[in-house]
Amino acid sequence: MSAELKRALLERCRKMEIPMVGVASVDRWERPPFEPWMPEEFYPRSIYPEARSVVVIGLPISLPVLETSPSVWYRELYRTVNILLDQYTYRLSNFLTERGHPSVFVPRDGYASVEALLKNPVAFFSHRHAAYLAGLGSFGVNKVLLTPEFGPRVRFGSVFTSAELPPDPMLTDDLCTRCMRCVRMCPARAINEKDYPEGLTDKNACSVYSAELNRHGVSPCGVCIKVCPVGTDRKLYDRSDASIYAKSDRAPELHRAWEHVRSYGDN
Ligand code: B12
């Protein structure tokens, strides 16, 4: 177990201004924390047999930009964060490889286009499960991972490494408040009230809506992560009240600003 290497890795992440990092040992996939779990071919060791640990990083989605969704602004933010995730995990994998521990990054998404998702909405590796096993958060009714810092407004990237790094403890708190805003406000009616994994997203309904937004150049949607009250980012942005999204009389100047942004730049 290399505590020294983990310290160096965390220092590297700090220098790269990565706000969220967690480590899971690959054997955590082999002891499913809940059912249904994923088939074995999705485990890190099945994909990269040398893997002993998975390093997961998280980058935040700025709430005031997400609030304008569906918009070109949120689409650009989403693309920027995606590019950074791939670049950071690529660089971290090389950092570990150069120190004698062969490592590879896993792309933050892993599908060719929305059309590919309509055919089969599954990628070869799940980052939210990796983030869960690396102690970064707990699943919400919106079926994505909620973190104390950013609620669900965080995207993840992972590195498979042959290094045996000390794993982080898994989060024992259940962060979801079950306010059901994500269920009520989903424009595709793709989310049910059941807890994950008993309840799953209607992937087809969500993908069809996303494909429609994509035709207008303003995908993804993101409503289920926007309306979630969890996350200290809400306080930082002065958005503690998550009820502002349902009614325009709660924050008329914000609703006007969002409408303005939405009115420009789409197909
Ligand atoms: C495909 C995909 C989608 C599809 C389908 C969503 C889905 N899978 O539910 C669509 C387009 C609908 C979508 C939408 C969104 N997505 Co998306 N998406 C992905 C992607 C690329 C792959 C997910 C996947 O296939 N995982 C692998 C499989 C094994 O996991 P699973 O689908 O969860 O499978 C489970 C169950 O189906 C079950 N199961 C039971 N039996 C079986 C049998 C088989 C054969 C399988 C495979 C599974 C299975 O077990 C599995 C484990 O519990 C990931 C990126 C990634 N590579 O992880 C992002 C990802 C999950 N998305 C993300 C986000 C943020 C979103 C959106 C908010 C859109 C946005 N960007 O604004 C919405 C949220 C929708 C929602 N509330 O669920 C983030 C989530 C971050 C977080 N905080 O958790 C991710 C992790 C991207 C990232 N790099 O950060 N997404």
Give dist(CA 62, CA 155) in Å, integer: 11
144 CB near ligand 1 (under 6 Å): yes
- For position 131, what pLDDT does the model report? 99
How many Å lie between the centroid of ligand 1 and the Cα of residue 205? Answer: 13
- For position 117, what pLDDT does the model report? 85
| pLDDT, average across residues 176-196 | 98
In SS3 terms, 194-226 reads as CCCCCCCCCHHHHHHHHHHHHHCCCCCCCHHHH
**Nearest atom, ligand 1, residue 34 CA:** 53
Sheet holding 154-161, edge to edge: 20-25, 53-60, 154-161, 103-106
- For position 234, what pLDDT does the model report? 98
Cis before 39? omega within 30:
no
Say if pTM beats, i.e. exceeds, 0.95: yes
Contacts of 262 by beta carbon, 8 Å cutoff, 6+ apart: 68, 70, 71, 218
The mean pLDDT value of the chain amounts to 97
pLDDT exceeds cutoff 90 at 249: no
| pLDDT, average across residues 13-39 | 97
**Nearest atom, ligand 1, residue 130 CA:** 58
Query: Above pLDDT 90, what percent of the chain?
Result: 95
**Nearest atom, ligand 1, residue 146 CA:** 83
pLDDT exceeds cutoff 90 at 4: yes
Please write the tens of the pLDDT for every residue from 126-172.
Answer: 999 999 999 999 999 999 999 999 999 999 999 999 999 999 999 99
pLDDT exceeds cutoff 90 at 1: no
> What is the separation, in whole angstroms, between the first and last Cα of the chain?
53
pLDDT exceeds cutoff 90 at 231: yes
Give dist(CA 191, CA 172) in Å, integer: 24
How many Å lie between the centroid of ligand 1 and the Cα of residue 224? Answer: 13
Rg (CA), the chain: 19
- The residue ranges of every structural domain in the chain are 3-262
> Best mutation site among 35, 81, 118, 155 for ligand 1, i.e. most ligand atoms within 8 A of its Cβ?
155
255 CB near ligand 1 (under 6 Å): no
How many Å lie between the centroid of ligand 1 and the Cα of residue 127? Answer: 8
**Nearest atom, ligand 1, residue 107 CA:** 57
